Amino acid sequence: MTFDSIVGHKQQKNILLRALNSQHVAHAYLFEGPDGVGKKMVAMDFVCAQLCQSKNGCGCCSACLKVESNNHPDIHLLAAEGQALKIDQIRKLQQDLSLRPMEANGKYCLIDGAEHLTTGAANALLKTLEEPQPGTILILLTNQPDKLLTTILSRCQRLSFSRLPKHNLAVILSSKLELDETQAKILASLSEGSFKKALGTNRELFLEKRRTLIQSLSALSAGSIIPTFSLADELEKDKEVLPDILDIFQAFFRDLLLLKHNRPEEELVNLDLIDCLQRQKNTTTTSLLLKLKALETARFHLQRNVNRRLALEVMLMRIAAA
């Protein structure tokens, strides 16, 4: 993928492209923004464009191929070990940076999760930032810039990244994952502009499991205790994906609200469940709002580590009764 062909983050890319074209690339950058929006992808492609033999990240030359396979000797990737980016890691990096580049004209370093720098590590890194070596480019990535030393912040050129608009993410997903248009749109909607969410384990949940979860939820009725308990049983199993399942249910009720108010179908998330949505179109607005409220209450309690099973049962009973 060439630097120019990355979808989204246009403004950020333009700034970087201008720097490349005018040969005014900064010694240090800070890419800040939520996790999973593609900061690292842009950083890697920016570095790739500098290493590339055609100077555009052609994707075919030997330098590009090495970058793509994480195999370029002049790129140094640093990430937290456990919960911290430690001073030893920074010292090792400084040692590496003090050596001549192996193949390129310069050395490139990506520090992913810079918010995890310990105080010692941050102070050590500050030295590198204060005395930049010619040809050395550092890119720090973080989701929490306020956790970095102001002295570090002031020495970096800062670029802020936000979540990608739904349609941009859908275009990327359909090309990367070979999804059809509908699937790509569903995945993009439920991933809220996050690549990580869309490309990770959520893909199967959002595309396949979503359908059965919504069917089970729709089948509940006020008197049906056993199906309610068995669905609670299923939801309880995987604590990690529970917030995403609540997002799925929320999107479904929201779709019903939109449909009731004659919004165009393209605004819906569950584009592949139009028939199912149409069948439930007669649910009243009051009832849908109560169902959404039940979801929100459950989310509130689950974030506070209450009895998970109980919170889910109460939520499902409220949804069924609403």
Q: Does 1 bind Zn ion (CB under 5 A)?
A: no
Query: Of 16 and 169, which CB lies nearer to Zn ion in the complex structure?
Result: 16
Smallest distance, Zn ion to C-beta of residue 73, A = 16
What is the residue type of 245?
I
Structure tokens at 218: 């729709």
Query: Of 58 and 199, which CB lies nearer to Zn ion in the complex structure?
Result: 58
State phi, psi for 231 to the nearest 5 degrees. -70, -40
Query: Of 64 and 78, which CB lies nearer to Zn ion in the complex structure?
Result: 64
Number of C-beta neighbours around residue 103 at 10 A: 11
Query: Of 66 and 203, which CB lies nearer to Zn ion in the complex structure?
Result: 66
What is the residue type of 297?
T
Q: What is the secondary structure of 174-230 as a DSSP string?
A: HHHH---HHHHHHHHHHTTT-HHHHHSTHHHIIIIIHHHHHHHHHH--TT-HHHHHH
Q: Which stretch binds Zn ion (CB under 5 A): 21-29, 61-69, 117-125, 206-214?
A: 61-69
Query: Of 58 and 241, which CB lies nearer to Zn ion in the complex structure?
Result: 58
What is the C-alpha R_g of the chain?
24
Smallest distance, Zn ion to C-beta of residue 44, A = 13
Smallest distance, Zn ion to C-beta of residue 40, A = 19
Q: Give the residue, chosen from 41, 61, 153, 241, that forms a contact with Zn ion under the rule CB under 5 A.
A: 61
Positive or negative, the CA dihedral 253, 256, 261, 264 is positive
* Chain residues 15-54 in contact with Zn ion, contact rule CB under 5 A: 52
Q: Give the residue, chosen from 58, 77, 79, 149, that forms a contact with Zn ion under the rule CB under 5 A.
A: 58
Q: How far is CA 184 from the centre of its chain?
A: 15
Q: What is the secondary structure of 136-154 as a DSSP string?
A: EEEEEEES-GGGS-HHHHT
- Tokens 């108010």 belong to 261
Number of residues that bind Zn ion (CB under 5 A): 4
Smallest distance, Zn ion to C-beta of residue 146, A = 37
Query: Of 50 and 89, which CB lies nearer to Zn ion in the complex structure?
Result: 50
Distance (Å, whole) CA 22 – CA 219 = 62
Smallest distance, Zn ion to C-beta of residue 42, A = 17
Smallest distance, Zn ion to C-beta of residue 99, A = 24
Q: Give the residue, chosen from 64, 80, 117, 137, that forms a contact with Zn ion under the rule CB under 5 A.
A: 64
Distance (Å, whole) CA 99 – CA 269 = 52
Binding site for Zn ion (CB under 5 A): 52, 58, 61, 64
